[in-house]
Structure 1
Amino acid sequence: MFTYTPSAQNLQVRRKFKGFQNGYLKTHYQDLNEIKIKEYLQNHPEFLDNYVLSHVEPDHIQTWLERKKNDKNRDLCAVSIPKSCMHSESHQMIQDLSLTLQHQPTKYDVLVELGNCISSAINADGFTLFLADEGDDSLYIYMGQNARGEAILTLAKTNEVEVPLYVARQRKAIRLSRNNGDYSNYFKKKPKIGHILCQSIQQPDGKLIAVIEFFKHESGYAFQDEDEDIAYSYIIWGGIALHYAILCMNMNKNKKLNDFLLMVVRSIFQDMVSMELLVPKIMNYAQRLVDADRASLFLVDSKQQELYATVFDVGNDEQQEGKSSPDIRFKMGTGIAGIVAETGKTENIKDAYSDPRFNHEIDKQTGYKTKSILCMPLFNQTSIIGVVQMVNKRNGFFTEEDEKAFEMFAVYCGLAVHHTKLYDKIRKSEQKYKVALEVLSYHSTCAESEVQRLVPQLDNQFPIIDDYHFNSFAYGDDDKVCFAVHMFEDLFGLRRFDRQCLIRFTLTIRKNYRNVPYHNWSHGFSVANTMYTLIKKTSDVFRPIECLALYIAALCHDLDHRGKNNKFMADTESPLAAIYSTSTMEHHHFNQTVAILQNDGHNIFSKLSYQEYKQALSLIKHCILATDLALFFPNKSKLTVLIETEKFTWSSKEHRLMIQGIVMTASDLSASAKPWDVQEKTVKIIFEEFYDQGDAERKAGKTPIPMMDREQPNEQANSQVGFLSGICLPCYKTLYKLIPETKPLLDMVQFNLNKWRKIAANEETL
């Protein structure tokens, strides 16, 4: 308990005053006059009490009280110190209080200095300071300050501070003496104290700050009205100093808090990569902020409706030495932390064991005694993601100021925890993705034994394959790989390319075509064969880097095709459609091409210069995207206008990109320009894939278009007539105008179109 004891200087002042009193009495007590009577009555208050009660009418006493009240109000309005108090020592006391204000005092400094001044002015033997807490209806005995200037408090027991509590609640001063029967029990706990004057200290808005209880020993005189007036006047004057001190404290605290939070934000957001690093750091900062002995962070497991601690009991020496804490996990709504997680409301508990909500089990598990608790939720927008719990403030109890500071801190904690959890998920997803890539790489790349097995076959005699009418159905998959490698070597040689790498790349390309009816490895090879033939027969139409891009794009243009078109991907909300909003499958085919090139031993472009490599990839992407028929129509329209107006020029980069797009479409549709037996067989395979998509659409509750409806096979001829006349024929006509060497493609499409027209006409007559 902080009890004021007069200093040696103040004792000397009192002795001088007592000496003055004794000398005055010896000199002037012989003649009875007003001064002597006043002195006698002051020294014998019981005589005055008995006389007034026996000889004065109650109405007259009431008149005196009213007059005194009015006089007192006038004095208070003037905020003046009574003349009786304004001796030299009082002036010195006020000057001391003024000096205190010049050093940016805390409110505790001002309250103590104010108590010292009042004690000297009213000849009190000491005082006890009680501080009020905004958060509850309790008083806290002021025990002094710690090294950081924070108050050390202890909770005042109600039965031992009934007088200060009465003053705090009524905002009225009270004077008592030991012989006052109503409070005899109160004095029993204060054996050497005979007289008490207890007054409240308030802010201008009426908010209670403190209660001061002045006391005198039994040998002293009882406190009088004048003492109460003096004390009250000092309190009014000291209120100005107190107001300044509180402002100064708040400014300093806010500055320190802001500096602290800035340091915290810098620090914790650097460690957002890992919960294991972040949580202990948050807890250590939280401990420092509110001077707690222990700290814990409980995260919410929304699936299990539980709280769990990744790091518990920060501050425990064993934990700091690296020993693991017990596994702490409990249901929402259990204990203080569980209730805070459930309600989202902060809890500040002064005595944990007296609170029925407190969960004793954790103390039993840890062997630690919990006294006070400050528990606050962590939010992610409106949802609670965790709870931070501070345990046992080192000096006193968690205050409302601690709550406010901790509330600001909790905002940053919530952000850090939320983003760290997201980062953890991303990191785990990334690791899963890497594992998936490793598995995929193993299963989707060729084995080295396949490469070695194929090398000797490349020395075999090859059939004539630079022919638009080449029938790929006549050969197996391994043959097509050999043909593809041979076509590449024939076009570009091996001076800047590695044969083993080329074989490996081609085998992996084959492996990454899915086993669907039409868009499979056989189709990829067939398109590449048409492109090879076109490049061979058109000699110098395209530049070397363009030829390289066109051939690789043709070979890879349908990698990982699922047998479904772009519309189906969008309608079924495929993940691919979420990634690529336009040309969905075409973007995926290109990305698969790049992924294969990035595999070890697969980069066939490794000997190209950086600029050549960059240009090749750019052209490959353009060529693969050009196989989307949605891009074909605007591309053909622009090119047709250029041809008709004779504005097309091979020297224009834009014009060359357009013709590359048309060449890609022509190669992709080359099944329509094959001899009739090949064309007829191809159409049956194409429709099998169409029907598979139609079945999937019907299963999803959608009605497939007639061309994809297995129940309408008579639509095949009509659909082919529309396809050849509306897309294939215009494509090959445009191509023929710019590259006449492609006339065999145009002629065969026209032939096949006529055949389909006859079939369609015959079906209509049936």
Structure 2
Amino acid sequence: MSSVAECTACLILRHYYFCFHQGEVAHILCQPIVQPDGTLAAVLELWRREAGGSFHEEDEEITCSYLVWGGIALHYAHLYFNMDKQRKLNDFLLAVVKSIFQDMVSMDMLIMKIMNFAQRLVDADRASLFLVDSKNKELYATIFDVGIENKTSGDDTESENEETVKAHTSREIRFPLGTGIAGQVAMTGEILNISDAYSDERFNRTVDQLTGYRTQTILCMPIYIRGSIIGVVQMVNKHTGCFSKEDEEAFEMFAVYCGLALHHAKLYDKIRRSEQKYKVALEVLSYHNSCSEEEFHSAVKDGIPGQVVDIDDYYFNPFVIEDYEKARQSIYMFIDLFGLVRFDKNSLLKFVLTVRKNYRRVPYHNWTHGFSVANCMYSIIKHSDNAFRPNECLALFIGALCHDLDHRGKNNKFMLDTESPLAAIYSTSTMEHHHFNQTVTILQQEGHNIFSKLSSSEYKQVLGLIKHCILATDLALFFPNKAKLNQIVQDQSFSWSNQDHRMLIQAIAMTASDLSASAKPWDIQSETVKIIFEEFYQQGDAERAAGRKPIPMMDRNQPEQQAASQVGFLMGICVPCYTLLYSLIPETKPLLNMCKENLEKWRQIDEDMRKREQ
């Protein structure tokens, strides 16, 4: 019944009480007030003193016609009352959501907010929020007893009577599921509205004994997320009377938002902890995977390296110099190409030494391979008559040097098939994205940023080009790149002034450098192939251990596949790559020539092997 109807009923009762006790004799006309839907809204009673005479049929008809409109009025008053009540509840819940999700700082702060809002919602004296520990089958809370108090007027910093939230208990409390009212709610999911706590056998008096507080009325409700109970909110001691059905309904709606907020707060805490763990891991990584002070000082003492014989030859043999000398020759090649005017020498030394350290000791994709690819790119740049612009050359050389950083000796398909964490982070070009990010990580280490003297626009351009160059080493991208560039060349529309065309030739140059072992003289080529297949076989072993059958090329039980696989690899990928590169940069012809020579030798080996098998 609406407040209007309630007031009408009250007036009738008061008048009836007065007339009865005054001893007056009255004639009574009683009529129902019916709402449009047929439900009884109220009852109207009219009294008339004896002198006024009795009510007539005409009086009944008149009052009946008026009361039709009275029923409609009461109906709309009732609707307005409910709508206004719902609007206030919605406004309150909106304020709750804004406050909870805008200021999500920590779980404890969120819990304080939830309990504060819950108290206001149902006019409770105290609030408790317990979270479910599913592993130990317990309820726990670090802040479980919160009340709203008025500040005294003696507080100069706040206005008089301002409400504040006070945590009466801030030590952790734990108890088994099923213990007390909250434990019962957590076990059953049932809402409990208790008007006398001490007369309820489920009530656990331990908390009162610990806090010195007297619990009288309780409204306790579960908090769900994804169908599971994650906590329990308990309101204690309504300020006026007992908790009503309306309190339950409003509180139940509020609990939905509590569940969402707690769920997101847990995610927020996990993310924040993960960030801190990442920072710690990065600190450890930067310490152990950075060049040591001894290595750096040794490189400084050794001075700027001189040129090794034939370092700019496409057929340079990377196996003739040891790892440290490879680092020194990488420094030489960088200085030879770019000088030191725009670059800090100490940063360059640290960067190259740390890059060397971040290549893993796998059979093929190791520091020797990284150096070889950089050496091939150095030779292309040196002999290509300024085909590439300065910042493009910088990105090509650094991209080549870093293109396989932290390679694990397994290909992208293996990472995806084994659901590697890297594959979860990068769904395409998995390892290549990782190599680029490792490059950026090294650049971000103190004293390693070789681009620190570049302008911000240059820095951004070079970093973008390095990413493009490293991603281009994914052979899955080679085929579309080759198809696009081939079409442009066939149409005789290639232009060095077209940025898209330049990006394509950069990608092809990166692939050519990455595959440069196939364009080395036969003794280097054959030795490198042995190393490549050892890495393939290690991946095949890992696949077999995981219950999968490796492809023949990666099956160490099928060594006879080596020659055939090399023929297919050189014909399908290497020769087309070097042919395309030669068509635009004629100075790279030695790469194409040697690749074709190696192809013929592998063909001969494959034919001889087939004849022996017949």
TM-score range, shorter chain: 0.7 to 0.9
Indicate whether 1:265 and 2:111 are aligned: no
Aligned to 1:622: 468
Unaligned runs of 5+ in 2: 24-31, 43-54, 56-62, 150-163
Q: Find 1:345's aligned residue among 187, 190, 212.
A: 190
Q: Is the partner of 1:763 in helix, strand or coil?
A: helix
- The 8 Å contact of residues 567 and 603 in structure 2, kept in 1 or not, is answered as yes
The structure-2 alpha-carbon separation of the partners of 1:326 and 1:611, relative to structure 1 and needing over 3 Å to count, comes to closer
Deviations 1:1-47 (A, max 9, x none): xxxxxxxxxxxxxxxxxxxxxxxxxxxxxxxxxxxxxxxxxxxxxxx
**Of 509, 516, 531, which aligns to 1:685?**
531
CA apart distance, 1:524: 0.3
Aligned to 1:486: 332
Letter in 1 for 2:294: S
Q: Classify the secondary structure of the residue corresponding to 1:480.
A: helix
Residue aligning to 1:313: 145
Q: Contact conserved, 1:566 with 1:584, CA < 8 A, in 2?
A: yes
Q: In 2, distance between residues paired with 1:206 and 1:639? A: 81
Q: Secondary structure at the match of 1:736?
A: helix
Q: How does 1:205-354 map to 2 (within 5 A)?
A: 249-315=81-147, 324-354=169-199
Q: What is the SS of the residue equivalent to 1:617?
A: helix
Give me the TM-score of the superposition, normalised by structure 2: 0.86
Q: Deviation of residue 250 (structure 1)?
A: 3.5
CA distance in 1, matches of 2:34, 2:178: 39
**1:90-117 alpha-carbon deviations (Å, 9 max, x no partner):** xxxxxxxxxxx9xx95776555434322
Give the deviation of 1:263 after TM superposition.
2.7
Segment drifting more, 689-698 vs 409-418: 409-418
- Within the candidate set 244, 264, 270, 1:399 is matched to 244
| Correspondence for 2:51 | none
Please tell me the residue identity of whatever aligns with 2:86. Answer: N
C-alpha displacement of 1:252: 4.3
Are the counterparts in 1 of residues 305 and 331 from structure 2 also a CA contact under 8 Å? no
1:669 aligns with: 515
Change in Cα spacing, 1:251 to 1:711, as seen in structure 2 (3 Å) is closer
Show CA shifts across 1:186-225 (max 9, x none).
xxxxxxxxxxxxxxx9997999999xxxxxxxxxxxxxxx
Q: 1:370 aligns with which of 185, 190, 215?
A: 215
Work out the CA distance in 2 between the residues paired with 1:679 and 1:655.
31
1:120 aligns with 2:18: yes
The answer (yes or no) to whether the contact 2:145–2:168 under 8 Å persists in 1 is no
* Pairing partner for 1:382 from 208, 227, 230: 227
The alpha-carbon distance between structure 1 residues 338 and 574, as it changes in their structure 2 partners (threshold 3 A), is same
Q: Is the contact made by 1:649 and 1:655 (CA closer than 8 Å) also made in structure 2?
A: yes
**Which of 523, 527, 536 does residue 382 from structure 2 map onto?**
536
Residues 370 and 391 of structure 1 are in contact (CA less than 8 Å); yes or no, is this contact kept in structure 2?
yes
Secondary structure of the 1:528 match is helix
Instruction: Report if the CA contact (8 A) 2:131-2:231 is conserved.
Output: yes
Q: How far, CA to CA, are the matches of 2:170 and 2:40 in structure 1?
A: 43
What secondary structure sits across from 1:377 in the alignment? strand
SS in 1 for 2:232: strand
| 2:377 and 2:400 in contact (8 A); partners too | yes
Counterpart of 1:116 in 2: which secondary structure?
helix
* Larger Rg computed on CA atoms: 1
The alignment status of 1:750 with 2:596, answered yes or no, reads: yes
Select which of 397, 410, 429 maps to 1:564.
410
- CA distance in structure 2 between the aligned counterparts of 1:208 and 1:361, rounded to whole angstroms: 49
1:247/1:745 CA distance change after superposition, 3 Å: closer
AA aligned opposite 1:287: Q
Cα deviation 1:380-436 (Å, max 9, x = unaligned): 242222111011112211111211222222222222222112211211122112212
1:458 equivalent in structure 2: 303
> 1:353: how far off?
2.1
Equivalents in 1 of 2:321, 2:370: separation in Å? 14
**Could you tell me which residue of structure 2 aligns to residue 726 of structure 1?**
572
Alpha-carbon deviations, 1:156-182, whole Å to 9, x = none?
Answer: xxxxxxxxxxxxxxxxxxxxxxxxxxx
**Does the 8 Å contact 1:106/1:248 carry over to 2?**
no
Distance of 1:443 and 1:546 partners within structure 2 = 31
How far is 1:627 from its partner? Answer: 1.1
User: Hey, what's the Cα distance between the residues in 1 that align with 2:212 and 2:381?
Assistant: 83
Aligned to 2:204: 359
Cα offset for 1:331?
Answer: 2.0
Superposition map of 1:463-478 within 5 A: 463-464=308-309, 465-478=311-324
Q: Distance in 1 between matches of 2:372 and 2:191?
A: 71
Rate the CA distance shift 1:202–1:389 in 2: closer, same or farther, 3 A: farther
CA distance in 2, matches of 1:323, 1:428: 28
Q: Is the 8 A contact 1:106 1:249 kept in 2?
A: no
Q: 1:635 to 1:349 in 2, by over 3 A?
A: same
Q: Give the % identical residues.
A: 65
Tell me, yes or no, if the aligned pair for 1:110 and 1:245 is still in contact at 8 Å.
Answer: no
Deviation sequence 1:322-356 (CA, Å, 0-9, x none): 66445321222222212222222211111122222
Deviations 1:24-72 (A, max 9, x none): xxxxxxxxxxxxxxxxxxxxxxxxxxxxxxxxxxxxxxxxxxxxxxxxx
Letter of the 1:570 partner, please give it: L
| Native 8 Å contact 2:145 2:169 kept in 1 | no
Runs of 5+ consecutive residues of structure 1 not aligned to the other structure: 1-100, 126-200, 211-225, 227-232
AA aligned opposite 1:474: V
AA partner of residue 500 (structure 2): E
* Distance of aligned partners of 1:109 and 1:440 in 2 relative to their CA distance in 1, 3 Å threshold: farther
Query: In the alignment, is the contact (CA less than 8 A) between 1:587 and 1:625 conserved in 2?
Result: yes
Residue aligning to 1:216: none
The separation in 2 between residues aligned to 1:540 and 1:244, in whole angstroms, is 86
Pair 1:411–1:645, CA change in 2 (3 A): closer
> Is the Cα–Cα contact under 8 Å of residues 517 and 688 in structure 1 kept in the other structure?
yes
Q: Note if contact 1:586-1:627 (Cα within 8 Å) is conserved in structure 2.
A: yes
Letter in 2 for 1:285: F
What residue number does 2:585 align with? 739
Matched, 1:445 2:267: no
Aligned partner of residue 123 in structure 1, secondary structure: helix
CA change 1:121–1:454 in 2 (3 A) is same
The CA deviation at 1:243 is 6.9
**Equivalent of 1:656 in 489, 502, 509:** 502
Instruction: Identify the match of residue 553 of structure 1 among 399, 412, 418.
Output: 399
Asked if 1 retains the 8 angstrom alpha-carbon contact of 2:118 and 2:251, the reply is yes
AA in 1 matched with 2:308? P
| 1:134-173 alignment, distance < 5 Å | none
Shift of 1:242: 7.9
Q: Aligned-residue CA RMSD in angstroms?
A: 3.1
**Separation (CA, whole Å) in 2 of partners of 1:489 and 1:457:** 15
Q: What residue identity is the alignment partner of 1:588?
A: H
Provide the C-alpha distance between the structure 1 equivalents of 2:414 and 2:4, rounded to a whole number of angstroms.
Answer: 73
How many aligned residue pairs are there? Answer: 569
